[in-house]
């Protein structure tokens, strides 16, 4: 267990010191939700209705945008070889590594989504629901991005491959997380159900994706 | 040199090491690199893999580590590969923003090696003064030495080293020989792919030839 914690802490520290930490995804997310109203138009009721869905979508894109570094750097500098030979086993290590790096870089997204929701004219309660749904979605999103990132590690133009692999896998997460925000906005009782399903997807991803990531890493090392 | 060796702290005893390779055949793409290789190494042994570029030295090391699946034949370790192998690839596995202290503490902790072994090992490799430098600020040779210290900190009996002396200067190669001698003296095995002439007492040599 202490091994897991040390991998988690190291990956979080490296993500923070190496690549500006949360700045990249946060800037991308902010840019997306600031630019979208310019394209959609200024009608307040349209913006408020589109807000929750748009935030969910923009959050997904900012996770994808940072996914290339999840396994690409470790592949290039030989760290993956060493990780494959650790005593704790590769699946557990991949889980700790992906979550450590993901949480260190993506933690601002729910807060920005909350502010963004208010900015779009979404009521406070629905904005809170949206932020909670994004928080619940982050483990699933980052683990799926990690799976795609591990499959594409060391491949040229891996960003393209990652988008093609991860985007379809992220569809259910997007539907439920954005759905929680939308239902919150429309004031119907499905918001909590959507939030619960988002959290369930994250738990499922925590249980299953480490094995997929580990298999992908092994295939890349061969 | 021997004084530096005497200063090394007692590290946990090595697991018994033994490596047995039977009828191993490897290829890279369509090219058969190694055919029907037999190899047996006992505690204290060292093996140097030599040969021109592209003859399969790295591929053989990766097969011994279990990364590459052989076409035929078997590699048998005493125990699980994930419990016996200390790996040094052609890349050093260092992060540019991480200091040697942070990195080596992490790897030592992961392998259950006590932290007080770090500094004496760095002293043996003559990089103890650099312990608080980020790896990105070190020269290639210094990074190689740090990576060698990491291998030693795994406390694993079977060391697989890919060009360990590549960027090292003359003094560095002597330090490497000391480190290898220390490891073999504890009952460890060292296999190294190399282009340099490494003067390790009693080391066997396996010269790989270009595929026909």
Q: Specify the pLDDT at position A91.
A: 94
Sheet with B158-162: strands ordered across: B85-88, B158-162, B189-193, B46-50, B204-207
pLDDT tens, residue by residue, B164-174: 998 999 899 99
The distance of A65 to chain B (nearest Cα, Å) reads 22
What region, left, alpha or beta, does residue A184 occupy, with left being phi > 0 and alpha being psi -120 to 50 degrees? alpha
Name the residue with higher pLDDT: A140 or B76: A140
Number of helical (H) and strand (E) elements in chain B, helices listed first: 7, 8
- Cβ contacts below 8 Å, chain A against chain B, sum to 65
Using DSSP bridges, classify how beta strands B19-28 and B31-41 pair: parallel, antiparallel or unpaired. antiparallel
Identify the domain containing residue B72 by its residue range.
3-207
Going by pLDDT thresholds of 50, 70 and 90, the confidence category of residue B211 is low
**Does the beta-carbon distance from B93 to A89 stay under 8 Å?**
no
**CA neighbor of A217 nearest in space, from A170, A153, A155:** A153
Q: Specify the pLDDT at position B4.
A: 56
- Mean local confidence (pLDDT), A17-24: 77
CA dihedral B110, B113, B119, B121 (to 10 degrees): -100
The distance of A114 to chain B (nearest Cα, Å) reads 33
Q: Specify the pLDDT at position A92.
A: 94
Q: Does the pLDDT value for residue B79 go beyond 90?
A: no
Q: Specify the pLDDT at position B199.
A: 85
C-alpha distances (whole Å) from A88 to each of A2, A184, B7 are 10, 42, 31
Two tokens, residue B146: 């740090």
Please give the mean pLDDT across all residues of chain A: 91
Two tokens, residue B21: 């390779």
B32: domain CATH number is: 3.40.50.300
Name the residue with higher pLDDT: A21 or B9: A21
pLDDT tens, residue by residue, A163-192: 999 999 999 999 999 999 989 888 888 899
Nearest chain A Cα to B103, which residue? Answer: A10
Query: Whats the size of chain B, residue-wise?
Result: 212
Q: Does the pLDDT value for residue B1 go beyond 50?
A: no
Note whether residue B142 is domain-resident. yes
Best B82, B140, B150 residue to mutate vs chain A (most A CBs within 10 Å):
B82
Going by pLDDT thresholds of 50, 70 and 90, the confidence category of residue B35 is confident
As for how many domains chain B has, the answer is: 1
**Does the beta-carbon distance from A77 to B95 stay under 8 Å?**
yes
Nearest chain A Cα to B68, which residue? Answer: A222
Q: Which of A14, A88, A222 lies nearest to residue B69, judging by beta carbons? A: A222
**CA neighbor of A121 nearest in space, from A72, A77, A55, A64:** A55
Q: B-chain residues within 8 Å CB-CB of A78?
A: 89-93
Note whether residue B212 is domain-resident. no
What 3-state class would DSSP assign to B139? coil
ipTM score here? 0.90
Note whether residue B17 is domain-resident. yes
Note whether residue B43 is domain-resident. yes
Those residues whose C-beta lies under 8 Å from the C-beta of residue B210, and which sit 6 or more positions away, are B51, B52, B54, B55
- Return d(Cα B145, Cα B191) in angstroms, integer: 17
Q: B-chain residues within 8 Å CB-CB of A89?
A: 82
pLDDT tens, residue by residue, B177-195: 999 999 999 889 999 999 8
Note whether residue B146 is domain-resident. yes
Which percentage of chain B shows pLDDT scores above 70?
94
The distance of A68 to chain B (nearest Cα, Å) reads 17
- Return d(Cα B82, Cα B72) in angstroms, integer: 21
Two tokens, residue B118: 């770090």
Note whether residue B173 is domain-resident. yes
Using DSSP bridges, classify how beta strands B72-77 and B46-50 pair: parallel, antiparallel or unpaired. unpaired
Q: Does the pLDDT value for residue A158 go beyond 60?
A: yes
Q: Specify the pLDDT at position B172.
A: 92
CB A57 within 8 A of CB A174: yes
- Return d(Cα A146, Cα A213) in angstroms, integer: 7
Backbone angles phi, psi at A72, to 5 degrees: -60, -45
Q: Specify the pLDDT at position A176.
A: 94
Q: Specify the pLDDT at position A19.
A: 64
Those residues whose C-beta lies under 8 Å from the C-beta of residue B180, and which sit 6 or more positions away, are B46, B159, B190, B192, B200
Q: Which of B62, B67, B97 lies nearest to residue A17, judging by beta carbons? A: B97
């Amino acid at each position: 267990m202490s091994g897991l914690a040390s991998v988690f802490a190291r990956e979080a520290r490296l993500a923070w010191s190496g690549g500006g930490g949360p700045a990249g995804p946060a800037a991308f997310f902010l840019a997306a939700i600031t630019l979208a109203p310019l394209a959609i138009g200024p009608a307040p009721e349209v913006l408020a209705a589109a807000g929750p869905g748009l935030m969910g979508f923009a959050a997904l894109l900012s996770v994808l945008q940072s996914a290339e570094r999840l396994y690409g750097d470790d592949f290039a500098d030989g760290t993956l070889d060493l990780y494959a030979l650790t005593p704790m086993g590769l699946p557990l290590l991949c889980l700790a590594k992906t979550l450590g790096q993901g949480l260190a870089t993506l933690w601002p997204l729910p807060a920005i989504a909350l502010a963004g929701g208010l900015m779009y004219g979404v009521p406070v309660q629905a904005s809170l629901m949206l932020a909670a749904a994004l928080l619940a979605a982050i483990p699933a999103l980052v683990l799926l991005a990690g799976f795609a990132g591990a499959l594409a590690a060391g491949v040229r133009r891996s960003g393209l491959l990652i988008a093609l692999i991860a985007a379809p896998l992220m569809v259910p997460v997007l539907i439920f997380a954005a759905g929680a925000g939308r239902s919150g906005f429309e004031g119907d009782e499905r918001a909590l159900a959507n939030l619960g399903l988002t959290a369930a997807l994250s738990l499922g991803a925590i249980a299953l994706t480490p094995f997929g990531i580990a298999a992908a890493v092994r295939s890349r090392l061969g | 040199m021997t004084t530096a060796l005497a200063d090394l702290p007692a590290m946990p005893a090595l697991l018994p090491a033994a490596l047995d390779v039977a009828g191993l055949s490897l290829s890279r793409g369509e090219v058969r690199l190694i055919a029907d290789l037999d190899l047996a190494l006992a505690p204290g042994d060292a093996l140097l893999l030599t040969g021109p570029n592209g003859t399969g030295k790295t591929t053989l090391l990766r097969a011994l580590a279990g990364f590459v699946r052989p076409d035929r034949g078997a590699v048998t370790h005493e125990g699980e590969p994930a419990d016996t192998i200390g790996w040094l690839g052609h890349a050093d596995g260092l992060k540019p923003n991480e200091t040697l202290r942070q990195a080596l503490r992490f790897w030592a902790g992961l392998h259950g090696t006590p932290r007080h072994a770090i500094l004496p090992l760095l002293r043996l490799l003559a990089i103890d003064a650099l312990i608080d430098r980020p790896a990105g600020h070190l020269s290639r040779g210094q990074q190689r030495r740090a990576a060698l210290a990491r291998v030693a900190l795994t406390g694993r009996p079977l060391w697989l080293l890919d060009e360990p002396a590549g960027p090292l200067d003359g003094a560095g190669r002597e330090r490497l020989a000391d480190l290898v001698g220390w490891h073999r003296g504890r009952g460890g095995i060292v296999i190294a792919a190399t282009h340099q002439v490494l003067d390790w007492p009693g080391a066997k040599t396996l010269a790989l030839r270009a595929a026909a």
